[in-house]
């Protein structure tokens, strides 16, 4: 009876949580979408009439911000697991603020590109740039919403669950958004 119960517990530990599995499938799909879009960018770039775009300084700053936010979200996950709730609250707050700062810096960067004459209606990089950036922005905003929800839950007196799954999911997603931006940053910097 005890061996049977231990076997069931071990089997439960080996299984991936359904939400984590769903997240990983979604992340795989997103990776394929961005791989396709950046491949199309490369193909289109080699055709005639292509115009590049100036690389804004705000993108450098936003990259630094999202890297720091990735560190703070990981530290917040560790604090949550260790049940250091005040530290978790502080770190999730910092991460949410950094997420909002990243969005603001991205807006400044793309406003700078737009003001330089690269628009959706022109030829060349603008069309792909704004589609790729827009899709990334949707994913970043989803991450920021998740951060804000975790922030609200962290300060809610009614919620006292120590299940780390939601924090792990949010952390994994935020790391993914971070890596995706770094990929796009390096891609546009090197190919432009």
Q: What is the pLDDT of residues 3-21, one digit of tens each?
A: 565 555 555 567 887 878 8
Instruction: Give 35's pLDDT tier (boundaries 50, 70, 90).
Output: very high
Number of domains in the chain: 1
Instruction: Give 106's pLDDT tier (boundaries 50, 70, 90).
Output: very high
Most confident option among 1-10, 26-35, 50-59:
26-35
Q: Which residues does 54 contact at the CB level (< 8 Å), separation at least 6?
A: 112, 113, 116, 118
Instruction: Give 108's pLDDT tier (boundaries 50, 70, 90).
Output: very high
Percent of the chain with pLDDT strictly greater than 90? 42
163 pLDDT above the threshold of 90: no
Distance of CA 145 to the CA centre of its chain: 11
Identify the pLDDT of residue 186: 92
- State the residue range of the domain holding 52: 2-191
Domain of 186: which CATH number?
Answer: 1.20.120.80
The structure tokens listed for 91 are 């770190």
Identify the pLDDT of residue 1: 55
Identify the pLDDT of residue 152: 87
Distance of CA 13 to the CA centre of its chain: 27
Instruction: Give 157's pLDDT tier (boundaries 50, 70, 90).
Output: low
The CA distance from 184 to 154, in Å, is: 32
Instruction: Give 158's pLDDT tier (boundaries 50, 70, 90).
Output: low
pTM: 0.81
Q: Which residues does 124 contact at the CB level (< 8 Å), separation at least 6?
A: 49, 50, 51, 52, 53, 118
Residues in the chain: 192
Identify the pLDDT of residue 5: 59
- Read off the DSSP letter of residue 53: -
């Amino acid at each position: 009876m005890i061996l049977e119960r231990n076997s069931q517990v071990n089997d439960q530990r080996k299984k991936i949580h359904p939400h984590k599995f769903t997240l990983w499938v979604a992340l795989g799909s997103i990776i394929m979408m961005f791989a396709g879009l950046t491949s199309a960018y490369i193909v289109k770039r080699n055709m005639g009439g292509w115009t590049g775009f100036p690389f804004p300084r705000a993108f450098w700053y936003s990259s630094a911000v999202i890297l720091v936010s990735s560190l703070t979200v990981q530290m917040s996950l560790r604090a949550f697991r260790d049940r250091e709730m005040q530290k978790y609250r502080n770190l999730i707050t910092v991460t949410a603020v950094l997420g909002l700062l990243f969005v603001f810096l991205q807006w400044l960067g793309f406003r700078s590109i737009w003001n330089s004459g690269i628009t959706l209606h022109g030829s060349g990089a603008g069309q792909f740039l704004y589609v790729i950036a827009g899709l990334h922005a949707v994913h970043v905003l989803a991450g920021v919403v998740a951060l804000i929800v975790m922030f609200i839950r962290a300060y809610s007196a009614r919620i006292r669950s120590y299940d780390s799954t939601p924090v792990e999911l949010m952390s994994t997603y935020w790391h993914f958004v971070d890596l995706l931006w770094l990929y796009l940053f390096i891609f546009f910097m090197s190919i432009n």
